[in-house]
Amino acid sequence: MAQQNIYDNETFFNGYKELREREVNANNLFELPTLFALMPDLNGKRVLDLGCGGGERCIDYLKHGAASVTGIDISEKMLAVARSEHSDPKITYIKMPMEDLDSLEGEFDVVISSLAIHYVEDFEGVVRNVYRLLCDGGIFLFSQEHPLATCYSGSESRWTVDENGRKIYANIADYCVERRNDSTWFVEGVQRYHRMFSTIVNTLADTGFKILKMAEPYPTEELVEKYPDYYDLYHKPDFLFIKSVK
């Protein structure tokens, strides 16, 4: 099975890097605060970061007390940033797609993945390997694009708007058709996988995980007043978080 490695595309990498460097973005406003609100106690824990990217979170996990962090990513460009800007003797970076987790050995207390799961076709295989790698009582916490976002294929208008251009509601199509969507984001052909809520939750449950918490972050009224563009998250959240335990 060939895995997409879009982050090593120069145009995509530069566009993504510029986006994440902006102070005001959905990751800083919603994804990261929710991720750390759901984070278990990391003191003395062995952490595995799936899709570690440039390594920023790996450093964060050490700051939260982790004893060691292993970060895996498929992108050599991202890992080069991680090794040059976010290195530490307690961090090990490995070039590896999540689909190849069956070749990773060791035991971990916490496995975390931030906005990477939706790039993986074999979700069941990843979940099965995470379960294998976790100690008893270990935590699996991940965020992904919300299923109401991944069911949008890009072939139709995403929003219905009024005469003033205000978004009235999101256009949802073929939610129950699980598939790969190829979309344009900085470059053409970015592959994301759409799965229903039930598939995500049942895969975790069938593997042996117990769901502890789910979250779908949306803005406060104060935040919308400051950044009106984020009002659309009242119609359709961008992110889904699931925290589970072995």
User: What are the helix (H) ranges across 134-189?
Assistant: 147-150
Looking at residue 18, what is its pLDDT?
A: 57
The pLDDT tens digits for 25-82 are 888 899 999 999 999 999 999 999 999 988 999 999 999 999 999 999 988 888 989 9
Q: Which residue has the tokens 């009224």?
A: 221
For CA atoms 38, 44, 48, 52, the dihedral sign is: positive
Could you tell me where the beta strands, DSSP code E, fall in 74-121? 91-95, 108-114
pTM of the entire structure? 0.89
Q: Tell whether 123 is covered by a domain.
A: yes
What are the φ/ψ torsions at residue 219 (nearest 5 degrees)? Answer: -80, 155
Amino acid at 194: H
* Residue 154 · residue 183 · CB < 8 Å: yes
Looking at residue 155, what is its pLDDT?
A: 57
The pLDDT tens digits for 118-151 are 989 999 999 999 999 999 999 999 999 999 988 8
Q: Tell whether 229 is covered by a domain.
A: yes
Q: How far is CA 115 from the centre of its chain?
A: 1
Domain that holds residue 78: 6-245
Q: Which residues pair with 169 in a beta bridge?
A: 160
CATH code assigned at 73: 3.40.50.150
Q: Tell whether 87 is covered by a domain.
A: yes
Confidence grade of residue 192 (pLDDT, cut at 50, 70, 90): confident
Q: Tell whether 222 is covered by a domain.
A: yes
A 10 A CB-CB count for 96 gives 18
* Residue 196 · residue 175 · CB < 8 Å: yes
Q: Shortest CA distance to 119 belongs to which of 150, 95, 161?
A: 150
Q: Tell whether 1 is covered by a domain.
A: no
Looking at residue 25, what is its pLDDT?
A: 81
User: Residue 11 pLDDT more than 90?
Assistant: no
Q: Say how many residues make up the chain.
A: 246
Amino acid at 178: E
Q: Tell whether 214 is covered by a domain.
A: yes
240 CB burial (10 A radius; 0-12, 13-18, 19+): buried
For residues 120 and 194, what is the distance between their CA atoms, to the nearest angstrom? Answer: 10
Share of the chain above pLDDT 70, in %: 85
Q: What domain count does the chain have?
A: 1
Amino acid at 196: M
Q: Shortest CA distance to 53 belongs to which of 11, 90, 4, 8?
A: 8
For residues 126 and 99, what is the distance between their CA atoms, to the nearest angstrom? Answer: 6
The DSSP letter of residue 157 is: -
The DSSP letter of residue 40 is: P
Q: Tell whether 41 is covered by a domain.
A: yes
